[in-house]
Structure 1
Amino acid sequence: MGSLNNKNRVFATHHSLCTRTHQIGALGLIVSTFFFTRIFDQSFNSCTYFSNDAKRSQDLFFVNNGGKISWPDRGYGLHLSLKIYVYDELEIDGLKELMYGRDRKISADSCVKGQWGTQVKIHRLLLQSRFRTRKKEEADLFFVPAYVKCVRMMGVLNDKEINQTYVKVLSQMPYFRLSGGRNHIFIFPSGAGAHLFRSWATYLNRSIILTPEGDRTDKRDTSAFNTWKDIIIPGNVDDGMTKYGATLVQPLPLSKRKYLANFLGRAQGKVGRLRLMELAKQFPDKECVPVILSDQAELPFQNVIDYTHISIKWPSMLIGPQLLEYLQSIPDEDIEGMIARGRQVRCLWVYAPETEPCSAMHGILWELQRKVRQFHQSTETFWLQNGSIVNRNLVQFHNWKPPMPLP
């Protein structure tokens, strides 16, 4: 608080005589300062540029078939540096049931085929990853393994059992409660999405969900995918079609292809797919079209891939003869160009070990790194002046015992 006498204080102002010589000298100082600043600025910029470029060439570029794929510095960092804890099936009661069903009736090998295979492949790759940590206290992220889509489709757990088991599993994870689930990763590898866990909106609304389909959810009014926290991953492709060397399928040259388009999948009552079936009946020598027909689709790794160079997206409401006419009008050289550019990024659809310079797993790890936070808390966590984390009853974090109320 200031003194009342301050208002009576007199502030003196000092004036100095500024001659023409002083003015010229000051102007010279300003000019020289400007030029020296520009020189130093350019020098430091060039040094910084080459330094960053050297780092990027080692850590960010994946070189494949003459092309290179880079993750942007902003929000990702210059190199992969994260630690992921993978829950063991024996440490959490109920986790084995979400992986193998009741009485371990199914195996991981039986769940690794088809689109569901990502739930097994990502789990196996993380177990072998150099970014895996066995210390929970140093982990940036936590991976919860579950083959729940396979378990449900094989009939070894029903929807009610899956829901109850998930809740039981989550209640045994102190770090899930600590963060509100924000640093926990779950895979739901089908159109059903996280709806396989009926209570996902209550318990997983902050967690990171990996899914290949974010535009829709089978037989549900809303999708569980959130573009701001979740990650679109490539769907599973059979290993026999992606491993180096012999493959199950050798693509035909464009000039020898019999059909304009091909469709793999089921109609499932979807309007767009039913229109394709009707279109195929009108043109029996043609099947479907290899373009994106889902208006709301989100695609894997959109931060680094410009899909306009490798694909076509067509309005689903315009499926009809107009679409076929458009596809037939595309010059072969344009199609060949798109195929060639696609070869440069196709490695990002292969679930290969980290020893490969480019893979789907590399892309997923980069996207996961962007989700890492320095600090986590939830509605059920509090902290004191000494930095200790406590719950509502002021019990310190290391003394939290399961089952715990979930945030």
Structure 2
Amino acid sequence: MADHHHLHRSTKNRNGFYVKMKFFRTKNGKPEKPFFVKHFKWILWFSLSFYFFAKFLNNHESSTNNNSLKTSIINHSHRALSESILQKPKTSHGLLNDLKVYIYELPSKYNTDWLSNDRCRNHLFASEVAIHRALTKSDFRTFDPMEADFFFVPVYVSCNFSTVNGFPAIGHARALLSSAVELISSELPFWKRSNGSDHVFVASHDYGACFHAMEDRAIADGIPEFMKNSIILQTFGVKYNHPCQNVEHIVIPPYISPEKVQSTLLKSPIDGQRDIFVFFRGKMEVHPKNVSGRFYSKRVRTEILRKYGNDRRFYLKRHRFAGYQSEIVRSVFCLCPLGWAPWSPRLVESVALGCVPVIIADGIRLPFESAVPWSEISLTVREADVAKLGGVLDYVAATNLSAIQRNLWDRKLRQSLLFHDDVESGDATWQVLVALSRKLGRSHRRLRVSSE
């Protein structure tokens, strides 16, 4: 600062004279102030006037049509302009083909009103909340629907907890989603433009967009007609033909709190002592639960309890325990048998806490198979072979267990199955975006550009 001041004041120093010439022009031998300095008052007055006028228009639009999706586009256009001036992009979109997602601003009854119950953001179906929350703050979000590749419809349908048993009740799901689609298609042109094919929903339930926990009822009800052209992010996935996955879909993991996982690993490191050989905690009826003729877990869990209930190598518990992650991190093998549906949150918890998942669910399709090398970090046992489970695990423990654990304990695998508040490179929401970037053939924007 002192050197600059000296140069500015000196009239004899050539460098000082050069600096003066650079910033002050002369007229009739006298220094002339630059344009910005001369007209500073007028520039300031114009800028302030424009700011208050734009603010007035924005507030006026909001007060006259508060629930309008069209109004939200206007408001977001102002916001996007100001943010583009004030901030630089935080991440490169190049890795995901410059993917852009528009998020509908639906009335709160479709999503945030449900968050009054804290369980809504933390239970196993909460990926519908986590993905919405992460995308909202993501650099991949666009406020201009004309430049969007995909349109995200944020409707939470798993937060209506039954007062009888405390489980999510999703009987209202179809009506709520139908109402949301009716709203977005009547207010804006983008749904009708593609018949919903570039629109994305989350269906993080037992049988995805069939919205029922019982398979035969789910199949009978089927996927709602209005969702059949869209992309469904769903936890349900199988390798055989099934009516509940007969739609363009991406298999995602169930939600497990990354904060809880981190807390568990701080107390017990992933490569620490594992004194439990085989672990399972959950529902295991001695007699299969029978609801109108539908058998729970296809008797697999019952057979595990019958065969290994008195085997000291097997740590089998039937009752809930809030700190059960402390048991997983102590275990070598974690059983992941099917329940009502093939998938289970135990799969994610096992990987995240370094316990080798033992998957017992015939034909299951696992989440993010292109990113997670499931065959190198887990074991698969057929439902019919559950009685041979002890021998299978003894053999693996004596042969290639160390290699499996080495692969399993890679931090990148844990990252890829967990949803965070913000999109993090390689995390579960990032993997969703990667999967969407492979479906850009559905993007109206890309088709328009390629045809021009």
Compute the TM-score of the two structures, normalised by the length of structure 2.
Answer: 0.56
One-letter code aligned to 2:256: V
How far apart, in 1, do the equivalents of 2:132 and 2:366 lie?
22
**2:386 is aligned with 1:319:** yes
CA contact (8 A) 1:142 1:183 kept: yes
How far apart, in 2, do the equivalents of 1:229 and 1:335 lie?
37
Kindly state the Cα deviation for residue 193 of structure 1 after the two structures are TM-superposed. Answer: 1.9
Kindly state the Cα deviation for residue 191 of structure 1 after the two structures are TM-superposed. Answer: 1.1
Between Structure 1 and Structure 2, which shows a larger proportion of helix residues?
Answer: 2
SS at match of 1:262: strand
Match of 1:293 among 348, 360, 369: 360
Between Structure 1 and Structure 2, which shows a larger proportion of strand residues?
Answer: 2
**2:171 is aligned with 1:163:** no
Kindly provide the CA deviation profile for residues 246-270 of structure 1, in whole angstroms up to 9, marking residues without a partner as x.
Answer: 746525757x433221124434621
Kindly provide the CA deviation profile for residues 159-202 of structure 1, in whole angstroms up to 9, marking residues without a partner as x.
Answer: 56433232222112232222222111111222142122867331
Within-5 A mapping of 1:333-348: 334-344=400-410, 345-348=413-416
Query: Cα 1:374–1:148, aligned 2, differ >3 Å: closer, same or farther?
Result: closer
Query: Cα 1:143–1:173, aligned 2, differ >3 Å: closer, same or farther?
Result: same
Kindly state the Cα deviation for residue 140 of structure 1 after the two structures are TM-superposed. Answer: 0.7
Name structure 1 gaps, 5 residues minimum.
1-57, 61-76, 91-95, 378-382, 388-407
| Overall identity of the aligned pairs, in % | 24
**2:273 is aligned with 1:262:** no
**2:304 is aligned with 1:276:** yes
CA contact (8 A) 2:135 2:422 kept: no
Kindly provide the CA deviation profile for residues 49-105 of structure 1, in whole angstroms up to 9, marking residues without a partner as x.
Answer: xxxxxxxxx989xxxxxxxxxxxxxxxx85441110111133xxxxx33425xxx46
One-letter code aligned to 1:239: P
Partner residue of 1:238?
257
One-letter code aligned to 1:201: P
Compute the TM-score of the two structures, normalised by the length of structure 1.
Answer: 0.62
Higher RCO (CA 8 Å, separation ≥ 6 residues):
1
How far apart, in 2, do the equivalents of 1:265 and 1:87 lie?
38
Name structure 2 gaps, 5 residues minimum.
1-90, 213-220, 290-295, 317-333, 336-356
CA RMSD of aligned residues (A): 3.6
One-letter code aligned to 1:250: S
Kindly state the Cα deviation for residue 127 of structure 1 after the two structures are TM-superposed. Answer: 0.3
- How many residues are matched? 291
Query: Cα 1:167–1:246, aligned 2, differ >3 Å: closer, same or farther?
Result: closer
**2:148 is aligned with 1:139:** yes
Kindly provide the CA deviation profile for residues 339-385 of structure 1, in whole angstroms up to 9, marking residues without a partner as x.
Answer: 221222221012235564321121111001112236659xxxxx9xx
Within-5 A mapping of 1:4-403: 79-90=96-107, 96-99=108-111, 104=113, 106-107=115-116, 109-153=118-162, 161-174=172-185, 175-196=190-211, 200-215=223-238, 224-226=244-246, 229-243=248-262, 247=265, 250-251=268-269, 256-267=273-284, 269-271=296-298, 272-283=300-311, 285-286=313-314, 287=316, 289=335, 290-320=357-387, 322-331=388-397, 334-344=400-410, 345-352=413-420, 356-373=424-441, 376=444
Query: Cα 1:237–1:298, aligned 2, differ >3 Å: closer, same or farther?
Result: same
Partner residue of 1:70?
none
